[in-house]
Amino acid sequence: MRRLAALCGIIGAAAIAAALLPAASARALEVKRVKLDNGMIVLISPQHNLPMVTASIGFDAGARRDPKGKEGLASLSAASLMEGTRAMSADELNRKVDFLGSAMDVGAGSDYATASFTSLKRYWRDTLKLLAGVLTDPGLRPEDISRKQAEQVAGLKAAEEQPGYVAQITFLKEVFGEGSPYGHLPDGTVDTVQKLSAQDVRDFYRQFYRPESAVAAVVGDVDADEVVKALNESLAPLTGTVAAQKPSPLPPIGSGVHLTAINRDVAQANIIMGFDGIARSNPDYYKLQVMNYILGGGGFASRLVKEVRSKAGLAYSVASYFQAALFPGSFQVVLETKNKTANEAIAMVLQQMKRIQESPVADAEMDSAKKFLIGSFPLKLDTQNSIVSFLMQVQIYGLGLDYIERYPGYIRSVTKEDVQKVARQYLHPDSYILVAVANQSEAGIKVASSAASGKQ
Amino acid sequence: MTDGVRKVVLPNGLTILVLENHKAPVANFNVIYRVGSRNEQMGKTGLSHLVEHLMFRGTKKLKPEEFSNIIQENGGEDNAFTEEDLTAYFELINRDHLDVPIALEADRMANFEPKGFDSEKAVVIEERRMRTEDNPQDALSEVAQAQAYVAHPYHWPVIGWMHDVQGLTLQDALDYHRVYYSPQNALIVAVGDFSADAVIKQITETFSNISNGPKPPPVTAMEPPQEGARELVLKHAAELPAFGEAFHVPAHESPDCFALELASVILSGGKSSRLYKKLVIEKRMVVDVDASYDLLSFDPTLFWITAQMRPGIKAEDVVAAAEAEIKQLATTPVDAQELQKAKNQELAGFVFGQDSIFREAMMLGQYELIGGYKQLDQYIPSIDKVTPADVQRVAAKYLVSSNRTLGTLVPTGLLPHPSGGPGGGAVRHAPINWGMPL
């Protein structure tokens, strides 16, 4: 492929999708919003073009709920739910799901834990019944939980071979602080996961898998009424709610460069530069969307790709993004370049951050950014999965069912002055965290001498 | 699925497939060239992929990256990929602007004039570092594939050997484009929310005037039968051992392909599959295990089994456990219920795949290239006909040790060697005796 390693995968899908969510003249989506008997909100969009159904339930049980020292608990809890019910073993559940040809999973992102399935139309009730079974009456047997725990630990050890993953977990720890809601990826660390107990998982399930604080979306070859009836029947045993969580204050980033250099036998330096960012609810969200498209979010239209990749040939992949989710997330520039050009690439990124702060962007850049953000909206609603993801965000962030119609206006109203203003307010080229996983003797990462305050 | 497909062949040889799909106001436009690493020569590997990159670096009319900028301004996304057999360019766009990619794709087919060759080659070299040098499992499958194929161009990786890529020139790229990027060697597939008549008319008007270059030379290489097990070891910066084993198998040209496809699902499709259940759940030996098979390959292909060990597990023990499962498949007929499960998974996957118009278009295109898009309609009926005896027979025939190449990754740790190794950025694979069977 010609572009872009997917870095999104390791951050948490909901958060990234939110950050990328643009909109425009999409065809109106038929959506019904219903409150189930147990208090859960469900958004349903019938799509009759293909005989299949996609559904998702987001519980307020994401990794931001992990207690300090128990990072990885939300993820282990979600995985353990997939180990069957009190009456049905994991083996039997797996065979039944596979026999229907369905895909079914429960997994934790940073904000929400998501229970989801995709099935043929003729098996959607059977698949829903299996999913509802593990949500309402899970087995949570100690031997199954310990097996999932061992799998999670093995997965973490395997991930440590990926330099991009190591850079990401290090960066999050530096920006958010250890033990904070976003300070870790959902799978936690080997140390914290090894200490978890079956009781931890059962307690987590009881506390957080509650319907009144959950949101669901169902898209596919179904009628809204039959979906509501089936959900009411199958999810009736779930009750109650979860008290909202408050974000913890972020540790201040002092002036200068805060370097963490990790030594690895790699051909490329994996670099992340950044600082704290915004929540999805921040009113500057749309201004930042336009600014970031021009800076480093717009692929080949972005300044970072033009300078670092197209002109200098230093990297295959370079991008910037705001992780705008429930709580203020981070801003990151992520790139990989051969060890020897690490310093050069870092200097280019800083130069582009300063440039967008110091000079107004060109009219052509503004025009181009707005045209893409508005015009590409239909592309975000072209599969059942993408519609489910969109509906979940509409509900979680209170965007409103008419968001599709309002979005173009939000983007059109952004001015060049706005772009420069938010660049000055939210970008900090003189005070940032720098993580470099590299062959350090080849890379020789240098930071402006007076500013450096890092550790190696 | 193919009932609504319209096919047109222009006088210059360009094949066009068009399908209306009105579920969302978007359209997908694909230009697929019958060229990939399969068409390359020793010493010039990676040229197909480099040309793919250069296709975005300008034409007689366009500046570098202007192609993508115009697509994005029209509410679209564009990308491309190169494989062994083909190179595909595609745009997903607001249906009101489908005329834009049609005009731009015609322009870069006819008026290729890339600028900034050196910096784009540097980007490709960075891509290779990212995908292969710093990815132990990819590095392993690269050397294992090279050991499995000694005579056929599937021997080398799509991205090319590092030294070959470093030596490619602008003239190489221009010559390659002249031979392979012509209407007679291309297939257009358009799927989306439009009128097929109007789109066929527009494509015809835009591409009819493009003339052909020389006829691309046929690929005549044929892999000789493997006679005896091959083994190799890769020492690479990593923590966990891994292995990849590859068996020579036929692709679509053989009726065995459907039984082989089902064998891959029985082995690793879902958590109830045999290898997943045995190696991940019961024995707790591996992080993950995968059996994969691509029946759409132009030439005979490989049936792969790959796995990454958990800490403290020896690769040889896992290889033995996987072998026991394969032997079971070859000696005992699969239970009717288990075979039906695999068929149900195939059917569901086939339907789910149509939810994306990009995947729908690629399926039509790939079937057209191997003999006709209508064969796609035969896929599920052919899967349905497979019997337990068929699965047993293909396992016994192909998944045997004398037909196997086994590659094992021996981790050297994640920290750099104090001596600095063979020098910055150099290819750090252990030397392997490429072409010669052991």
Strands A256-263 and A431-438: parallel
Strands B286-292 and B301-309: antiparallel
Residue B425 with chain A: CB contacts under 8 Å: 267, 338-340
Q: What are the backbone dihedrals phi and psi of residue B178, each rounded to the nearest 5 degrees, phi first?
A: -60, -35
Amino acid B415 reads: L
Residue pLDDT, tens place only, A415-424: 999 999 999 9
Kindly provide the ipTM of the predicted complex, given to two decimals. Answer: 0.92
Residue pLDDT, tens place only, B109-144: 999 999 999 999 999 999 999 999 999 999 999 999
Cα A68 to Cα A183: distance, rounded to the nearest angstrom:
10
Separate counts of helices (H) and strands (E) for chain A: 17, 11
Chain A, 157 to 176: residues with Cβ < 8 Å from chain B are 157-158, 160-163
Residue pLDDT, tens place only, A395-408: 999 999 899 999 99
CATH number assigned to the domain with residue range B239-411, chosen from the 4 options 3.30.830.10, 3.30.2400.10, 3.40.640.10, 3.10.180.10: 3.30.830.10
Residue pLDDT, tens place only, A407-448: 999 999 999 999 999 999 999 999 999 999 999 999 999 875
**Cβ separation A94–B354 shorter than 8 A:** no
* Closest residue in A to B77 (Cα–Cα): A376
Strands A215-220 and A41-46: parallel
Most distant pair of Cα atoms in chain B: their distance: 66
CB A370 within 8 A of CB A403: no
Chain B, 60 to 79: residues with Cβ < 8 Å from chain A are 64-65, 68-69, 72-77, 79
Cα A145 to Cα A163: distance, rounded to the nearest angstrom:
29
pTM of the model: 0.93
**Cβ separation A300–B118 shorter than 8 A:** no
Q: Which residues contact A447 (CB under 8 A, 6 or more apart)?
A: A256, A257, A259, A434, A454
Of the candidates A188, A199, A195, A219, the residue with the CA atom closest to the CA atom of residue A110: A188
Chain B, 273 to 302: residues with Cβ < 8 Å from chain A are 273, 277, 280-281, 284, 287
| A9 burial level (CB within 10 Å; 0-12, 13-18, 19+) | exposed
Percent of chain A with pLDDT over 70: 92
Cα A39 to Cα B331: distance, rounded to the nearest angstrom:
54
CB A235 within 8 A of CB A136: yes
CB proximity B26 to A under 8 Å: yes
CB B199 within 8 A of CB B380: no
**Cβ separation A379–B92 shorter than 8 A:** yes
Is B127 part of the annotated catalytic residue set? no
**For chain B, which ranges sit under pLDDT 70?**
417-438
Token pair for B397: 């025939």
Q: What is the pLDDT of residue A178?
A: 86
Token pair for A146: 């310990």
CB proximity B122 to A under 8 Å: yes
Domain ranges for chain A, please list them: 19-234, 256-377+399-443
How many CB atoms are located within 10 Å of the residue B289 CB? Answer: 24
CB proximity B51 to A under 8 Å: no
**Cβ separation B270–A94 shorter than 8 A:** yes
Confidence label for A249 from pLDDT (cuts 50, 70 and 90): confident
CATH 3.40.710.10 matches A256-377+399-443: no
Report the phi/psi class of residue B290: left, alpha or beta, with left for phi > 0 and alpha for psi in -120 to 50. Answer: beta
Cα A58 to Cα A214: distance, rounded to the nearest angstrom:
6
Residue B68 with chain A: CB contacts under 8 Å: 299-301
* Closest residue in A to B269 (Cα–Cα): A98
Cα A222 to Cα A52: distance, rounded to the nearest angstrom:
9
Q: Please say if the pLDDT value at position A205 is more than 60.
A: yes
| Fold agreement between B6-207 and B239-411 | yes
Of the candidates A305, A164, A173, A264, the residue with the CA atom closest to the CA atom of residue B428: A264
* Closest residue in A to B348 (Cα–Cα): A101
Catalytic pick from B20, B40, B52, B105?
Answer: B52
CB A259 within 8 A of CB A447: yes
Token pair for A140: 């949570």
Report the phi/psi class of residue B395: left, alpha or beta, with left for phi > 0 and alpha for psi in -120 to 50. Answer: alpha
Of the candidates B431, B96, B51, B273, the residue with the CA atom closest to the CA atom of residue A379: B96
* Closest residue in A to B265 (Cα–Cα): A98
Beta-bridged to residue A59, according to DSSP, are A113
| Fold agreement between A19-234 and A256-377+399-443 | yes
Cα B217 to Cα B178: distance, rounded to the nearest angstrom:
12
CB B396 within 8 A of CB B330: yes
Distance from CA of A74 to the nearest CA of B (A): 20
Q: What is the pLDDT of residue A27?
A: 60
**Cβ separation A97–B272 shorter than 8 A:** yes
CB A321 within 8 A of CB A254: no
Cα A417 to Cα A414: distance, rounded to the nearest angstrom:
8
Three-state secondary structure of chain B: CCCCCEEEECCCCCEEEEEECCCCCEEEEEEEECCCHHHCCCCCCCHHHHHHHHCCCCECCCCCCHHHHHHHHCCEEEEEEECCCCEEEEEEEEHHHCHHHHHHHHHHHHCECCCCHHHHHHHHHHHHHHHHHCCHHHHHHHHHHHHHCCCCHHHCCCCCCHHHHHHCCHHHHHHHHHHHCCHHHEEEEEEECCCHHHHHHHHHHHHCCCCCCCCCCCCCCCCCCCCCCEEEEEEECCCCCEEEEEEEECCCCCCCHHHHHHHHHHHHCCCCCHHHHHHHHHCCCEEEEEEECCCCCCCCEEEEEEEEECCCCCHHHHHHHHHHHHHHHHHCCCCHHHHHHHHHHHHHHHHHHCCCHHHHHHHHHHHHHCCCHHHHHHHHHHHHHCCHHHHHHHHHHHCCHHHEEEEEEEECCCCCCCCCCCCCCCCCCCCCCCCCCC
Q: Which residues contact B231 (CB under 8 A, 6 or more apart)?
A: B405, B406, B407, B408, B438
**Cβ separation B79–A371 shorter than 8 A:** no
Cα→Cα distances B270→A54, A95, B242, B264, Å? 18, 9, 21, 11
CB A38 within 8 A of CB A67: no
Distance from CA of A423 to the nearest CA of B (A): 22
Token pair for A356: 């967008």
* Closest residue in B to A92 (Cα–Cα): B272
**Which H/E stretch holds residue A104?**
strand A103-108
Token pair for A421: 């203003």
The domain defined by B6-207 folds into Cytochrome Bc1 Complex; Chain A, domain 1 (3.30.830)
For chain A, the C-alpha Rg in angstroms (whole number) is: 23
Q: What is the pLDDT of residue A446?
A: 82
Chain A, 36 to 75: residues with Cβ < 8 Å from chain B are 47, 49-52
Residue B53 with chain A: CB contacts under 8 Å: 2
Cα B274 to Cα A128: distance, rounded to the nearest angstrom:
25
Cα B33 to Cα B188: distance, rounded to the nearest angstrom:
9
Cα B206 to Cα A413: distance, rounded to the nearest angstrom:
37
A19-234, superfamily in CATH? Metalloenzyme, LuxS/M16 peptidase-like (3.30.830.10)
Q: What are the backbone dihedrals phi and psi of residue B160, each rounded to the nearest 5 degrees, phi first?
A: 90, 155
Cα A316 to Cα B34: distance, rounded to the nearest angstrom:
25
How many CB atoms are located within 10 Å of the residue A167 CB? Answer: 25
Q: What is the pLDDT of residue B417?
A: 67
**Which H/E stretch holds residue A231?**
helix A224-234
Closest partner CB to B130 (pick from A98, A316, A379) = A316
CB A41 within 8 A of CB A392: no
**Which H/E stretch holds residue A273?**
strand A268-276
**Cβ separation B129–A317 shorter than 8 A:** no
Beta-bridged to residue B288, according to DSSP, are B308
Q: What is the pLDDT of residue A448?
A: 57
Closest partner CB to A2 (pick from B52, B116, B416) = B52
**Cβ separation A300–B341 shorter than 8 A:** no
**Cβ separation A2–B80 shorter than 8 A:** yes
CB proximity A442 to B under 8 Å: yes
| SS3 state at A169 | helix
Cα→Cα distances B310→A148, A154, A198, B189, Å? 13, 6, 22, 44
Distance from first CA to last CA of chain A, Å, rounded? 35
| SS3 state at A37 | coil
Cα→Cα distances B84→B153, B154, B435, Å? 8, 7, 18
**Cβ separation B69–A368 shorter than 8 A:** yes
**Helix orientation angle between B336-353 and A90-100, rounded to the nearest 10 degrees:** 60
